[in-house]
Structure 1
Amino acid sequence: MTDYRPARRRALLTALGLSASLLLGGCASTGGAALSATTVAPYRQTLALQGSIGINYLRDGKRESLTGTFQWQQTPAATDVTLVSPTGQTVAVLHVTPAQASLQQSGQPLRTAADLDSLTTQTLGWSLPVAGLRDWLQGYATDAQGQRFSASPARNTVVTRDGWKVEYMTWQDEQATVPQPKRIELTRLGAGEVEELAIRIAIRPSVEE
C-alpha cells in the first residue's frame, strides 16, 4: 500500500510557504503606501521668501523686544537677510557664507566676522541663527541626537543639536500633501550673552528661484 502522507506534507509546506510569501509581499506593499503618505518636500538649496519677525530677549536683566519684516535669499553658497523696521527703515543687511559673515547697518561701517552669532549679538543685541534657519524655514532640523527631523502638523516640535526649541505653530495649507511652514516659534535659554531669546516668524508663501 502506497503512503501518500509525505507528498501531502510537501504540498502543505509548499502552500504555507506561498501564503507566507504573499503575506510578506502584502506587508511590504503596505509599508510603501505608508511611506508615500508621509512624503516631505525636497530640501531647496535655493530659496527666496519674506515675512514678519518678532524678537524678545533678556540681556543683563533687561528685557527688550522688537518687530519688523524680513527678506530672505538663500543659495548653495550664501544667505542674505534684510531686516526692516515697522516704519520701513532697513535695520540690518546680513550676508553669510561658510567662511564669513558680514552685517551692514544704516550709517554704520560694514562689520565682518567668522561667527555670525557673536556678530549679531554685539551689534543687534540678539543672535539670529541663520545657519539653522536655512533648514527650519523649510520644516527641517537636526535634533539633539543628531538625527534629521522633518516637521509636519502631527510632528511639530523639535529641540535642535545646538539648543534651539523649534515649534511649527501653523502651516500654509494643512490639507496639502506636503504642507509648508507658516508660523514658527524659536526659543533658547542661555544663548551666549543673551539670557533668554524668543523669535517668532510668520512666513509668506515662498518663491523658488
Structure 2
Amino acid sequence: MSFKTLAAIAGAAAILCGCATAPTTPPSTAAVAPYTDTLSLAGRLNVRYIKDGKQESATVNYTWKQDAQRTDVALSTQFGNIVAMIEVTPQGATLREGGNKPPLRAPSIDALSARALGWSLPVSGLRGWLQGHATAADGKTWTASPANNEVTTREGWHLQYVDWQDGSSPPRPKRIDAEHPGGGDVQQMSLRIVINQES
C-alpha cells in the first residue's frame, strides 16, 4: 500500500472522527403557533396494538379537516382507495366504511371508535396534538417545541414530537409518536402520525 493511500485513509478517518465528535446544535426552544380551530392537512398513520393477545397493525393515508364545529377524517390505502370516513360534530360521530356497509353512529368519537375498533381513537385530542398542543396529565395546557417535545396527556397517551417540518417558523410537527398502555382486551396501543402536507 502506498504512502499516499495510507495518508488518504488517515485523513478520511480524521475527518470522520471529527464529524462524530462535533458538537450538535441544541434544539430550538421556539414554541409552535397558537392553537387554531381551523386546520386542513394530510399524511400517513400507522396503528399498532395487541388485542386478545395478538399483535395487530395497519398503515393508512389520511386527510384531516377541522373547524370549530366539525372534524372530518378520510382514511385511504396507499393506492388512494377510501376505506373509511369519520365525521365528528357536537351531535355525535359517524363512521362510513367502503362497500355497502351501513354507517355506524354513536354519541361521541370515543364510543364510536371503541365500538368499531375495540379501542378509543383519540380524535378529540388529535385536534390539538397535530398542532403541537395537548392537555397534560396534571390538567395544564402543554405546548410543544423542538426542545420540549414529550408529554403524557390527561387521557394517558405519551406523546413524542419526533420530527419537525423543514424550515418552518414557528415550528410545525412532521412526525408524532403516541403510545398508550391500553386496557381491557386492547393493550400497548401505538400511533405513528406523519404530516406530509398542510394547507
In structure 2, relative to structure 1, the CA distance for the partners of 1:202 and 1:191 (3 Å cut) is: farther
Q: 2:79 aligns with which of 84, 87, 90?
A: 87
In structure 2, relative to structure 1, the CA distance for the partners of 1:164 and 1:54 (3 Å cut) is: same
Cα distance, 1:89 vs structure 2? 2.3
SS in 2 for 1:189: strand
- What are the within-5 Å matches in structure 2 for residues 106-121 of structure 1? 106=98, 107-121=100-114
Cα distance, 1:194 vs structure 2? 1.6
Deviates more, 1:114-123 or 1:101-110: 114-123
Cα distance, 1:123 vs structure 2? 1.9
For the pair shown, the structure with the greater C-alpha radius of gyration is: 1
Contact 1:121 1:193 in 2 (8 A): no
Q: C-alpha offsets along residues 151-181 of structure 1, whole Å, 9 cap, x if unaligned? A: 01100000000111111000003x5441000
Q: 2:142 aligns with which of 146, 149, 173?
A: 149
User: Corresponding residue for 2:68?
Assistant: 76
SS in 1 for 2:44: strand
Q: Which is bigger in relative contact order (C-alpha 8 A, separation at least 6)?
A: 2
CA-atom RMSD in angstroms: 1.7
User: Corresponding residue for 2:42?
Assistant: 50
Q: 2:181 aligns with which of 189, 196, 199?
A: 189
Q: C-alpha offsets along residues 138-162 of structure 1, whole Å, 9 cap, x if unaligned? A: 0000000011111011000000001
In structure 2, how many angstroms separate the alpha carbons of the residues matched to 1:193 and 1:116?
19
Identity of aligned residues (%): 45
Cα distance, 1:130 vs structure 2? 0.6
- What are the within-5 Å matches in structure 2 for residues 1-209 of structure 1? 38=30, 40-106=32-98, 107-173=100-166, 176-191=168-183, 193-207=185-199
Cα distance, 1:122 vs structure 2? 2.7
In structure 2, relative to structure 1, the CA distance for the partners of 1:147 and 1:81 (3 Å cut) is: same
TM-score of the superposed pair, with normalisation by structure 1: 0.76
In structure 1, how many angstroms separate the alpha carbons of the residues matched to 2:80 and 2:31?
39
TM-score of the superposed pair, with normalisation by structure 2: 0.80
What is the number of residues matched between the two proteins? 170
SS in 2 for 1:53: strand
Structure having the higher strand fraction is: 2
In structure 2, relative to structure 1, the CA distance for the partners of 1:176 and 1:82 (3 Å cut) is: closer
Deviates more, 1:184-193 or 1:120-129: 120-129
SS in 1 for 2:189: strand
In structure 1, how many angstroms separate the alpha carbons of the residues matched to 2:88 and 2:184?
19
In structure 1, how many angstroms separate the alpha carbons of the residues matched to 2:133 and 2:191?
17
